[in-house]
Amino acid sequence: MATDQVSQIGDAANRMRISAIDMTCASKSGHPSSSASAAEIVATLFFGEMRYSVAEPKHPGADRFILSKGHACPILYAAWEEAGLLTREQTLTLRKIDSDIEGHPTPRLNFIDVATGSLGQGLGYAAGMAYVGKYVDKASYRVYTLLGDGESSEGAVWEAAAFSSHYKLDNLVAIVDVNRLGQSEAAPLGHNVEIFADRFRAFGFHSIVVDGHDVSALLKAFAEAKTVKDKPTAIICKTFKGKGIKDVEDQDNWHGKPMVADSVKEIESVIRDRIKGDKPKWNIPSVVTDVKESKLDLGNIKMSSPPSYKLGDKIATRQAYGTALTKLADTTKQILAFDADTKNSTFSIEVMKKHPEQFVECFIAEQNMVSAAIGAGCRDRTIPFCSTFAAFFTRAADQIRMGAISFANVKLCGSHAGISIGEDGPSQMALEDLALFRSVPNSVVFYPSDGTSAERAVELAANIRGIVFIRTGRPALPVLYEPNEHFQVGKAKVLKNTLDGKGKGVVLIGCGVTLYEALKAHDELNSAGIKSAVIDLFTVKPIDTNTILETARAVGSNPQIITIEDHYQAGGIGEAVASAVSSSNDNIRVHSICVKDIPRSGPPDALLDMFGISAKHIIAKAKSIL
Amino acid sequence: MATDQVSQIGDAANRMRISAIDMTCASKSGHPSSSASAAEIVATLFFGEMRYSVAEPKHPGADRFILSKGHACPILYAAWEEAGLLTREQTLTLRKIDSDIEGHPTPRLNFIDVATGSLGQGLGYAAGMAYVGKYVDKASYRVYTLLGDGESSEGAVWEAAAFSSHYKLDNLVAIVDVNRLGQSEAAPLGHNVEIFADRFRAFGFHSIVVDGHDVSALLKAFAEAKTVKDKPTAIICKTFKGKGIKDVEDQDNWHGKPMVADSVKEIESVIRDRIKGDKPKWNIPSVVTDVKESKLDLGNIKMSSPPSYKLGDKIATRQAYGTALTKLADTTKQILAFDADTKNSTFSIEVMKKHPEQFVECFIAEQNMVSAAIGAGCRDRTIPFCSTFAAFFTRAADQIRMGAISFANVKLCGSHAGISIGEDGPSQMALEDLALFRSVPNSVVFYPSDGTSAERAVELAANIRGIVFIRTGRPALPVLYEPNEHFQVGKAKVLKNTLDGKGKGVVLIGCGVTLYEALKAHDELNSAGIKSAVIDLFTVKPIDTNTILETARAVGSNPQIITIEDHYQAGGIGEAVASAVSSSNDNIRVHSICVKDIPRSGPPDALLDMFGISAKHIIAKAKSIL
């Protein structure tokens, strides 16, 4: 029986090899050699280890599998073909423009939770899923991820490894396909599988070394992993790139190349000769039933109480973030707050204090925080919010990029934006975060200016499916809005407007600290006989083009706008506004006031002056253009 | 004598503690507790181990020291005060707006090579410097870096560790200040120093565990490190945060807080009582003399031969990068090419083939590639060029951000830009890299469209001090420029211009693959009686506002521009152009054609059509607006 199983899985691996070769021949590109090294590993997982549902791949009780080495997706598609979800006809559409069977896996396919293809991110996703499995769902589904040896050079792998052992994720198995060869040369550790085992052991894993082409060894390793308590397991597999492919196995220069057409027949014949029996009717273990359904009530998620600030009270938007998120956690158990050892600065500590089970400390490892949060949000198990200094989200820029391709539902709050943080200096000042988050496709970017609007931004964020960024600031600033003020995604607020249509006026657009500078400037300009309107954008993306255009038209003919931002020029508010009005026929000129050079340590107000974004610079600019 | 030395260094550490307390009291912010844990480590390095010149901190023969835990800079400033470079008056200007003694170290100070403050980056810098010391300078100076325990959660640390052992950097010492406490809670490994030792050992280091407040143990460890061959050394120091500070030592909630004014007198009196002798006249070992001067001949660096493409030949700009960089390496030994296992795709492999000693394989670890390159460029030892897929530079966004604050001289070439890469799919397509690199202060961004201009971009990049990005593409496209065409930073080329001033015309601006689409559109529009000009921007930043304005004015009154880019909207060419012309009085309208949604796998041409950036979309847009 066991022998039968081993033999059947071995046969499946070889059928999958052939399928991977066929589909990459059909697409004339792709990664058959990287697929071949993983054939036995993936076959053993799919036909000897994992519990899942072919009919419902995203069943909440199903074991999770993440192919971290995404370029080897032909072998994954072949596994689903072997399992009966995909037909051969479908897998042969690999990389075609009208096929969801893409060159690297994306969740356009119903059996993919997260996009991979930028290397080293799978273990972080898996860690987030395993965290949710163990601590939120408290269920017995297990999480498996397959890494390449080359991608294990990515630091994100080791951030995820440290997180996984810290949280004793014994429901997590990382498998490393040590096939020795990278894209352009041998990977740095070659076939020294013991070094991989040592590294994972030092990072708190139970490590097992096996021959990755030996199905019975793999079955035994997976069984052993299930007996390990309070530790994740790493199975280090010695494999050969192109295994089983004649004249390709263990050879250089076969990364990302389909087989030469002439050779395919012989190659496949050799593989076929190794297949011992007919394809069986697979008896895949049923999914576990100790998981509850999780339905996100998007559109109806509310804070336990509305904002309660009084006009003029001083409150930092970062503090309002912590308050609002805690009030969301009050009503919605799916809210999960992640932070990277900045919780006392971002105020996510408030969630930890009141709802410790809804808080995840990720320590100083922002890449993994974002990947784990994306993983935690899969299959609608949770609504993850991540917070750290906005500057440090640049550390996770690639994870955020991949989050968009994953259609991830994750909210990111970056505090300490801009030079207004003061004395800590430029390394802590986010001045490119709006560019980063605006360039995420389909993202929403909130930049609330006071406590009331910040709380509403957090509430709105929870109700949007997708990637949402909330930019918060360090300084405590006066509350501008009554508690019952209504905020919407993509709707700006006109706070002041003395424009009279006579042309001698200007529209001032700011957010956060610069909104207050604009309000100051408005008063002084008014005294000097210059009319102005002040717009609080609230949402930087999607930008409220209508309100901007309407307000600009109120200036009169040839209107002028001044944008003021605590951010560099590129990709910031000035460019967002310029590009929003650039195709209108109103001859609107846009003048940008922004941070133009690398800032330095100093008191916030002095920095606003020194780097040209304070009220006096707005006034000077307005006077110079009118 | 040895006892004297130990005692003197211990005294120095305590004087430095007091100085760190004083300067953070004066600035009313900063990190005295993180400084105190490192006092003996830094004092031992500066007064018992390192060879350097107080008169000339950047002497090429001096040992290098990088404070990776940058927030502990008060102790570093105190060390330079103790050494005699800074006065007490100067250190007391910490964090003042007119002082270069900033909240985190920056190279505005002559004893700082690289900015730190975003955690986990010091070891990568140090690895780059040590690589240069061992393999380029072949000199005996040594490189030391001090990490915090909290920041060792950053994956970049482990990328750098793997790199350092792979290249047998026995001139490198990483010191970890395991003070147990992070910002918001205990660090994940607490005082388990053996785990740190195991992790570094698994990553190929010689590990030594010591009491980080025991000067003689530290001296012994540094001496031992010098005897280790072919391996870097990690010295794991058990320390206490706030060590020696009454009521603060090893206590929570003292991160980033100066002492309470009332307590300072008593605190300092306790520390002062531990000082056994007078401050000695330090006898700091002389710098090594086996290093040659390295002067960069910026402005005069030339390729060994000019571009030699014929008009119409098909060549990918990524291939031209490899050719040009090799020709620079021919003439200039300081050129150093870094790649992250993509050298056969980015064509940096050409450098490796011809000048293996000028090529550094960094494997799949982009964060460390960039940090190591920044380190390698310090003190003008080399001119580092890094290449990988442009999409994967997002992985190093924070390193690039810190590079700007470091005033780093580093060139980054991102290949495989945009959807025009085709079948590999969205994970491999850079569509936000222009936003990333435009938002780097003082950066230059080249986006050459053909082989000739790509070679010139590489040559220009080598001659600019600072951060330069070169965006290259995958497809082979026709050569547009003669070999002798002259290119300048910030100068666009008008390739076609049939505008006649009558208003029925449009300016088309493209780069790379979209420039060719614009050229196609130009011909078809011409046939349809619509005049147009086609501009090749060449440099996206600084953008050539003059050429754009002049060409637009040639349309006639109320001119219109269409920008076409293989990039998302935010921070891309459309926004750069819109913002460049937004304050002009010419009523120029700018229409942006860009990638608007997450792309997918498919043939390049089909993708250009599907995602709306091909000639037919340009023509349709032109017709719709005229």
DSSP type of residue B72: G
Query: Do the beta carbons of residue A221 and residue A210 sit within 8 Å?
Result: yes
Instruction: Give the whole-angstrom CA distance, residue A615 versus residue A364.
Output: 36
Chain A positions touching B344 (Cβ under 8 A) are 183-184
Domain ranges of chain A: 3-272, 314-478, 493-625
**What share of chain B in percent tops pLDDT 70?**
100
pLDDT of residue A1: 43
B67/chain A closest Cα distance in angstroms: 14
| A210 three-state secondary structure | strand
Fold of B314-478: Rossmann fold (3.40.50)
Average pLDDT, chain A: 97
**pLDDT band of A2, cuts 50, 70, 90:** low
Instruction: Give the whole-angstrom CA distance, residue B519 versus residue B449.
Output: 12
Mean pLDDT value of segment B467-494: 98
Residue A376, H or E segment:
helix A366-377
Mean pLDDT value of segment A454-483: 98
What does A3-20 look like in DSSP terms, one character per residue?
A: HHHHHHHHHHHHHHHHHH
pLDDT in tens, A169-193: 999 999 999 999 999 999 999 999 9
Q: What are phi and psi of B605, to 5 degrees?
A: -60, -40
Chain B positions touching A31 (Cβ under 8 A) are none
Instruction: Give the whole-angstrom CA distance, residue B338 versus residue B382.
Output: 12
pLDDT of residue B293: 87
Q: Is A30 on the interface with B (CB under 8 A)?
A: yes
- Residue closest to A165 by CA, chosen among A412, A389, A365: A365
Asked if B394's CB is within 8 angstroms of A395's CB, the reply is: no
Catalytic residue flag (residue A366): yes
Q: Is B158 on the interface with A (CB under 8 A)?
A: yes
Q: What are phi and psi of A9, to 5 degrees?
A: -70, -40
Instruction: Domain A493-625: give its CATH code.
Output: 3.40.50.920
Residue A155 CA: distances (Å) to CA of A147, A208, B254: 13, 21, 29
Superfamily (CATH H level) for A3-272: Thiamin diphosphate (ThDP)-binding fold, Pyr/PP domains (3.40.50.970)
Pairing state between β A589-595 and B538-541: unpaired
Residue B161 CA: distances (Å) to CA of A189, A558, B122, B165, B399: 13, 59, 11, 6, 16
pLDDT in tens, B139-186: 999 999 999 999 999 999 999 999 999 999 999 999 999 999 999 999
Q: Which residues of B form the catalytic set?
A: 366
**What share of chain A in percent tops pLDDT 70?**
100
Residue B1 has pLDDT above 80, yes or no: no
Residue A451 CA: distances (Å) to CA of A335, A483, B314, B477: 20, 9, 57, 53
pLDDT in tens, B265-318: 999 999 999 999 999 999 999 998 999 888 999 999 999 999 999 999 999 999
pLDDT in tens, B187-234: 999 999 999 999 999 999 999 999 999 999 999 999 999 999 999 999
Chain A positions touching B100 (Cβ under 8 A) are 600
Closest residue on chain B to A542 (Cα): B570
Closest residue on chain B to A27 (Cα): B423
DSSP type of residue A582: T
Q: What is the 3-state secondary structure (H, E, C) of B228-252?
A: CCCCCEEEEEECCCCCCCCCCCCCC
A613/chain B closest Cα distance in angstroms: 16
ipTM for this model: 0.98
Asked if B150's CB is within 8 angstroms of A118's CB, the reply is: no
Q: What is the 3-state secondary structure (H, E, C) of B481-524?
A: CCCCCCCCCCCCEEEEECCCCCCCEEEEEECCHHHHHHHHHHHH
Mutate to test the interface with A, among B96, B192, B432 (most CBs of A within 10 A): B432
B455/chain A closest Cα distance in angstroms: 23
Chain B positions touching A108 (Cβ under 8 A) are 600
Write the single-letter amino acid at A552.
Answer: A
| The two structure tokens encoding residue B239 | 């320390």
Chains A and B form CB pairs within 8 A to the count of 361
Task: Out of B30, B344, B398, name the one closest to residue A184 (CB).
Answer: B344
Chain A positions touching B440 (Cβ under 8 A) are 432
Chain A positions touching B541 (Cβ under 8 A) are 570
- Residue closest to A305 by CA, chosen among A465, A468, A484: A484
Asked if A118's CB is within 8 angstroms of B392's CB, the reply is: yes
Query: Do the beta carbons of residue B277 and residue B250 sit within 8 Å?
Result: no
Task: Out of A29, A155, A427, name the one closest to residue B405 (CB).
Answer: A427
What does A303-340 look like in DSSP terms, one character per residue?
A: -SS---PPTT-EE-HHHHHHHHHHHHHHH-TTEEEEES
Mean pLDDT value of segment A91-99: 97
Q: Is B118 on the interface with A (CB under 8 A)?
A: yes
Average pLDDT, chain B: 97
Q: Is A165 on the interface with B (CB under 8 A)?
A: no
Closest residue on chain A to B540 (Cα): A570
Q: Is B330 on the interface with A (CB under 8 A)?
A: no
Q: Is B34 on the interface with A (CB under 8 A)?
A: no
Catalytic residue among A40, A82, A350, A366: A366
Chain B positions touching A603 (Cβ under 8 A) are 97
Q: Is A289 on the interface with B (CB under 8 A)?
A: no
| B292 three-state secondary structure | coil
- Residue closest to A117 by CA, chosen among B363, B415, B605, B601: B601
Q: Is B103 on the interface with A (CB under 8 A)?
A: yes
pLDDT in tens, A33-63: 999 999 999 999 999 999 999 999 999 999 9
pLDDT in tens, A332-348: 999 999 999 999 999 99
pLDDT in tens, B37-80: 999 999 999 999 999 999 999 999 999 999 999 999 999 999 99
**Residues whose CB falls within 8 Å of the CB of residue A236, separated by 6 or more in sequence, listed in order:** A176, A178, A193, A196, A197, A200, A207, A208, A209, A210
Chain B positions touching A103 (Cβ under 8 A) are 423-425, 428, 601
The answer to whether the pTM exceeds 0.95 is yes
- Which residues 369-428 of B are in CB contact (within 8 Å) with A? 391-392, 394-395, 397-398, 401-402, 404-405, 407, 422-428
Q: Give the residue, A1 or B558, on which the prediction is more confident.
A: B558
| The two structure tokens encoding residue B137 | 């300078």
User: Same CATH fold, B493-625 and B3-272?
Assistant: yes
A89/chain B closest Cα distance in angstroms: 17
Residue A81 CA: distances (Å) to CA of A56, A57, A145, A388: 15, 13, 19, 42
pLDDT in tens, B320-358: 999 999 999 999 999 999 999 999 999 999 999 999 999
Q: Is A341 on the interface with B (CB under 8 A)?
A: yes
pLDDT in tens, A531-550: 999 999 999 999 999 999 99
Q: Give the residue, B502 or B573, on which the prediction is more confident.
A: B573
pLDDT in tens, A217-273: 999 999 999 999 999 999 999 999 999 999 999 999 999 999 999 999 999 999 999
pLDDT in tens, B108-120: 999 999 999 999 9
pLDDT of residue A294: 87
